[in-house]
Structure 1
Amino acid sequence: MTGLFGANSTTDDVLTGVNLRGKRVLVTGVSAGLGVETARALAAHGAEVVGAARDLAKAEAATASVRAQAANGGRLELVQLDLASLGSVRACADALLADKRPFDLVIANAGVMAAPFGHTADGFETQFGTNHLGHFAFVNRIASLIASGGRLVNVASSGHRFADVDLDDPNFEQTPYDPWIAYGRSKTANILFAVEFDRRHRAHGVRATAVHPGGIRTELVRHLDDGTLEAMVEKINSDLAAEGKPPYQLKTIPQGAATSVWAGVVAAADEVAGRYCENCHVATLVDGTISPVSEGVRAYALEPEHAKALWAKSEEMIGERF
């Protein structure tokens, strides 16, 4: 599948001719942006989508387009899930386990970015607790529901380049807090989680990957001051111009959600499993001198022993073993 699609491909492009009737998919974060578009595209091609959201009333309003465009047996149901609360995570997982219906695909899409310093309901730093630990607990609790041949797609980010995970100080108890470093740690964790989940489950026919959707203007930027995103893009374009490169372009939401659905249902499992994907292809390794908006993944985000260590630390933090 490599080479068929790229940075400008949309969800509808990558799903052209794909029939998902009879497939069941869980997507977190369906109250806005990428989550809504991901659910819409999948339901429009026949998938039964379970959309998880913290605010069900907001999600109900936001997903009108999902229901309106559902076709070929596609449908949407909503479940309540607050990833910043292990109580909510466990309650949602328990309800899905009691329901017993399997999933062919889980897309861990929800998240926060560059949030001010704070803590989840369980005392974890907000971004690491929400983006990583919430999904870590939730996905592992429902892992038995992922059918053989199924996949987990973790929505990560090129922001993983801001920082590796810090297993000695995950909650910034000794380290001065920086919202972008915290975001980078959580996104690196998303990738490492996929690496280790894939190792643990591939013998059962379940694979996992991580994806970068691209730069997109969604509710994810709500913690940024007015003009911050524009200033960041202006600085990036100044640097690119100095290198003789074309300007950076933000993606549309359908373009941003494309890599998630490509990695989840279009690409061959062995092509994407245990890897990091962007622009509808598998990324290559890059070092620290590469532009932050260029393609590529840092080696520390894919290192197997590092992924095992994060898994063990995550189990310790949430008080559960999987």
Structure 2
Amino acid sequence: MGAINNKNTFTRSHQPMNNNPVHIVTGATGGIGSAIVDRLIESGVSHIVLACRNQDRAKAMIDRLSPCNVTLTAMQLDLESFDSVINFVMSIRERDMAVDTIFNNAGTMPGTMKLTADGYESATQTNFLSTALLTQMLLPRIVNGGAIVFTTSMTRHIAKLRTDWKQHAITHHHRFTTYGRSKLMLTHYALDLACELAPRGIRVNCSDPGIVDSGIITLGNPVVDKLSDKFFRPLISTPAQGAAPAINAANSQLTGQIFTLNHCTPIPESYLRDPLHSIASEAVNDALAISTSEAMQ
């Protein structure tokens, strides 16, 4: 039987709980996230944390997967909220979980501008700031030799870094370029983190799943979406194919790479020469300082 450990956690276990490091998958109930979980189960990992906003869907997913010989734990995580990130990390600490791999899979591509309670455009906070903040706060829990995987996107090629990135995302929101900038900043941050964590043997890679048949490509226009479902979706990658780069990124002994379905290439060195390269890590450090201060109050 499943057991409610607290209001934010649900676990179903078919083997004794142990101290083996966990694999965390954010957005685990989505198309690619669910496929990542399936691949991890097939590989025989012992414990997977489903870090999700919708706990009902996470619990239903655990019930569906219940015959597997893996401990599955659903934990509340809403990347539109720094408080939720802090609470998630505190729950990991309270349960004394060591972390093997973080799959930073969750993302959003809203068609209209939405402001979070923290004062950021939602895609910017979800895809970049909260994802990076979650990772930074979990660094002490990641075992040496572990892995961090960030989901990037081909849309990073249509965006540029800006010093006014926070305000521009609010005042000049565009579905694709705002999303692309959030992924571009995340990829710049991943490059810095790969260098920082190399002495611990922690590999930091990006996964670019390409265009995948998932909810994120639904545009909200009934006519366009209907045509897309009929003519476009059958030609693009399945969620299982979209998950493959993330699994390969986690399993690789390389670091600082971008994995696609069939290839991997280093995160471009040109990123380091970009005069604005440092703004990504600076933004994360600022968010970390504020969140850490608030968590201690």
Deviations 1:118-166 (A, max 9, x none): 1112010111111111111111111111111101000111111120232
Deviation at 1:318, TM superposition (A): 5.6
Taking the aligned partners of 1:303 and 1:280, their CA distance within structure 2 comes to: 28
1:166 maps to what in 2?
162
For 1:281 and 1:210, how far apart are their aligned partners in 2? 12
8 A contact 2:162–2:276 mirrored in 1: no
Percent of residue pairs bearing the same amino acid type: 22
- The structure-2 alpha-carbon separation of the partners of 1:304 and 1:279, relative to structure 1 and needing over 3 Å to count, comes to farther
Alpha-carbon spacing, 1:119–1:249, altered in 2? closer, same or farther (3 Å): same
> Residue 256 in 1 paired to residue 271 in 2?
no
Larger relative contact order, structure 1 or 2 (CA cutoff 8 Å, min sep 6): 1
Contact 2:115 2:170 in 1 (8 A): no
Are the counterparts in 1 of residues 113 and 170 from structure 2 also a CA contact under 8 Å? no
2:13 — aligned with what? none
Tell me which moved more, 26-35 or 222-231.
Answer: 222-231
Task: Specify the alignment match of 2:50 in structure 1.
Answer: 51
- 1:20-169 to structure 2, matched below 5 A, reads 24-47=22-45, 48-68=47-67, 70-71=68-69, 74-169=70-165
SS of the counterpart of 2:66? helix
2:17: which partner in 1? none
**Cross-structure match for 1:283:** 265
TM-score normalised to structure 1 length: 0.75
Counterpart residue identity of residue 195, structure 2: R
The one-letter code matched in structure 2 to 1:75 is: T
CA contact (8 A) 2:21 2:98 kept: no
SS at match of 1:283: strand
RMSD of Structure 2 on Structure 1 (CA): 2.9
Q: TM-score, normalised by structure 2?
A: 0.81
How do 1:216-235 residues align onto structure 2 when only pairs under 5 Å count? Answer: 216-228=212-224
Contact 2:189 2:281 survives alignment (8 Å)? yes
Q: Deviations over 1:62-94 (max 9, x none)?
A: 3444334x34xx231110000000111101111
Match in the other structure for 1:244: none
Cα shift readout 1:166-215 (whole Å, capped 9, x = no counterpart) = 23232327852212110010111221121111111111111201111121
- Closer, same or farther in 2 for the Cα pair 1:301/1:216, shift >3 Å? farther
Structure 1: any 5+ residue segments left out of the alignment? 1-21, 238-247, 285-296
Q: Cα gap change, 1:161/1:231 in structure 2, threshold over 3 Å: closer, same or farther?
A: farther
- Counterpart CA distance in 1 for 2:196 and 2:226 is 41
Q: Assess, with a 3 A threshold, how the Cα gap between structure 1 residues 160 and 148 changes in structure 2: closer, same or farther.
A: same
CA 303–106 in structure 1, closer or farther in 2 if over 3 Å, else same:
farther
Contact 2:21 2:97 in 1 (8 A): no
8 Å Cα contact 1:46-1:75 kept in structure 2? no
Q: Secondary structure at the match of 1:165?
A: coil
Report deviation, 1:223.
Answer: 4.2
**CA apart distance, 1:302:** 6.6
Query: Aligned AA for 2:264?
Result: V
Offset at 1:301? Answer: 5.3
1:276 positional shift: 1.4
* Residue 46 of structure 1: how far off its partner (Å): 1.5
Q: Distance in 2 between matches of 1:303 and 1:260?
A: 27
Change (3 A) 1:299 1:163: farther
Q: Which residue of 2 aligns with 1:293?
A: none
Distance 2:223 2:268 in 1: 29
1:292-307 aligned within 5 A: 306-307=276-277
Contact 2:150 2:206 in 1 (8 A): yes
Distance in 2, Cα, partners of 1:64 & 1:94: 26
Q: 1:175 to 1:234 in 2, by over 3 A?
A: farther
The one-letter amino acid of 2:53's match is: R
Structure 1 residues 202 and 223: alpha-carbon distance in aligned structure 2, compared to 1, 3 A threshold:
same
* Aligned equivalents of 1:228, 1:114: Cα separation in 2: 16
How many residues end up aligned between the 2 structures? 271
1:274 aligns with 2:273: no
Match of 2:282 among 292, 307, 312: 312
- Residues 277 and 172 from structure 1, CA distance in 2 versus in 1: closer, same or farther, beyond 3 angstroms? same
